Amino acid sequence: MRLSQLCTHTMKEPPKGEVSRNARLLTQAGYVSRLMAGVYSYLPLGLRTLNKIETIIREEMNALGGQEVLMPALQPRENWETTGRWDKVDVLYKLGSGPIEKPEDYNLALGPTHEEIVTPLIANFVHSYRDLPVAVYQLQTKFRNEPRPKSGLLRGREFRMKDLYSFHADQNDLDSFYERSIQAYHSVYRRCGIGDKTLLTYASGGIFSKYSHEFQTLTPHGEDTVYRIAGTSIAINKEIIGDQEALREIIPNYQTGDEDRLEELKAIEVGNIFKLGSRFTEAFRSSFADKTGSQGKIVMGCYGMGPSRIMGTIVECLSDDKGLVWPEEIAPYTLGLLNLKHDDAETKRFCDALYEKLSSANVDVLYDDRSESAGVKFADMDLLGLPWQLIVGPRSFEQGLVELKCRATDKRATLAVDEVFEKLRNGNITL
């Protein structure tokens, strides 16, 4: 992609009216644009990154055995009344397909989550134990009327979610799938570059299990508070910190009063998994014929993860005072090519040829071919946060030398063009 053709521009200053670091930087760099509080457009660079995050999630959910579906965002009131949640979920957006005069006229909801849809949908295909287990997931836009949508992509009123639902013949089968899902979640966060900061966090469960689990990414800008067990990557959330019995159960050799083994930290919840038991399958009167021929209860698990919140979290965790810093697997482009002598015909020809050659070697290149000063190009490329920069200056055309810079570490090396390709051929670039 040539930067001169990109439909967005960077801004000199962060936007007024955004307080969160992720929204300020992503807007300044032209990745997203706010329509209203908690509602954003994804522009070409931002959408490339969001899509890459969703591709990672898709790969890991497929590997876990999930089958991808896409369910409607527009949902009938009836399903929400069946589970008793029409009046309980306070962030539910309600709509009417006709004029609204009184609350009863609302007959539709915009999906904040999909238990009400997926349960009857899948249970309809489950007749006997042979039809179980089954897991389906989707990557979809969700709607929640969040009261304080001031944190950019971290808390949208319209946002992206991956939600997976698993259906099992018994609790043991649910338990083993649940354990495997934890590993799949860790793989996603590792590939997104926040694996080392993301803690498996015990949260309160419900009627069907004692605990649920959150995945919490440590950052001082997080809205949540977690308590890390010293020397581990496991934490406990605020809800259960006062429960001595739970602490004894979760923490090895825990004694009452051992609170100094818990470190209080700020974090962002990037995933949440939950054993639902038969809460929803009972509401929809779904069952199956077990091995003996009698009717069994289908037990469920739900597994949520927020791709758009992950994108915001990466910005909160990895960006620096010059701008964004993307891990290689989710950067919109791998390499930025900077022509510092755009007014020189020979250098321009050299750069154009290099751009073609890199593109045909399947490197995702963003080529700054604009007539801007070197200072503007350096600042913009740092703001955009691509992992690698290839800088073509006065010596390039005459001596065939270019500078390769790593955005995250600021390490640089002067290389012959062939050496750059040597590094690319070996798969990943290292300096």
DSSP 154-170: GS-SEEEEEEEEEEESS
Q: Which is nearer to ligand ATP, 301 or 306 (CB)?
A: 306
Q: Which is nearer to ligand ATP, 24 or 405 (CB)?
A: 24
- Residue 144 binds: one of Mg ion, ligand ATP, none (C-beta under 5 to 8 A by kind): ligand ATP
CA 389-28-51 angle, 5° bins:
70
- Residue 159 binds: one of ligand ATP, Mg ion, none (C-beta under 5 to 8 A by kind): ligand ATP
Q: Which is nearer to Mg ion, 49 or 272 (CB)?
A: 272
Q: Which is nearer to ligand ATP, 89 or 108 (CB)?
A: 89
Q: Is 339 helix (H, G, I), strand (E, B) or coil?
A: strand
Q: Beta 335-339 vs 365-368: how paired, if at all?
A: parallel
Minimal distance, residue 266 CB to Mg ion, in Å: 16
Minimal distance, residue 273 CB to ligand ATP, in Å: 9
Work out whether 272 is an interface residue with Mg ion (CB under 5 A). Answer: yes
Q: Which is nearer to Mg ion, 166 or 272 (CB)?
A: 272
Are 22 and 315 in contact, with CB atoms under 8 Å apart? yes
Minimal distance, residue 214 CB to Mg ion, in Å: 6
Reported in sequence order, the residue ranges of 371-411 that DSSP labels E, i.e. its strands, are 388-392, 401-406
- Residue 138 binds: one of Mg ion, ligand ATP, none (C-beta under 5 to 8 A by kind): none
Residue at shortest CB range from Mg ion = 272
Minimal distance, residue 269 CB to ligand ATP, in Å: 5
Work out whether 237 is an interface residue with Mg ion (CB under 5 A). Answer: no
Q: Which is nearer to Mg ion, 272 or 389 (CB)?
A: 272
Minimal distance, residue 224 CB to ligand ATP, in Å: 7
Query: Quick one: CA dihedral 167, 171, 177, 180, positive or negative?
Result: positive
- Residue 308 binds: one of Mg ion, ligand ATP, none (C-beta under 5 to 8 A by kind): ligand ATP
Tally DSSP H helices, then E strands, for the chain: 12, 21
Are 365 and 429 in contact, with CB atoms under 8 Å apart? no
Rounded (10°) angle between helices 21-28 and 307-318: 90
Work out whether 22 is an interface residue with Mg ion (CB under 5 A). Answer: no
Please give the backbone phi and psi of residue 373, each rounded to the nearest 5 degrees, phi first.
-70, 160
- Residue 161 binds: one of ligand ATP, Mg ion, none (C-beta under 5 to 8 A by kind): ligand ATP
Which amino acid is located at 176 in the chain?
S
Q: Determine what percent of the chain falls in helix, strand and coil, rounding each to the nearest 5.
A: 35, 30, 35
Minimal distance, residue 26 CB to ligand ATP, in Å: 14
- Strand order through the sheet with 365-368: 365-368, 335-339, 388-392, 401-406, 412-416
Minimal distance, residue 271 CB to Mg ion, in Å: 8
> What are the tokens at 55?
């591709």
- Residue 193 binds: one of ligand ATP, Mg ion, none (C-beta under 5 to 8 A by kind): none
Minimal distance, residue 278 CB to ligand ATP, in Å: 20
Q: Which is nearer to ligand ATP, 28 or 198 (CB)?
A: 198
Q: Is the peptide bond before 387 cis (omega within 30 degrees of 0)?
A: no
Which residues lie near ligand ATP (CB under 6 A)?
A: 113, 144, 146, 155-156, 159, 161, 269-272, 304-306, 308-309
Q: Which residues lie near Mg ion (CB under 5 A)?
A: 272
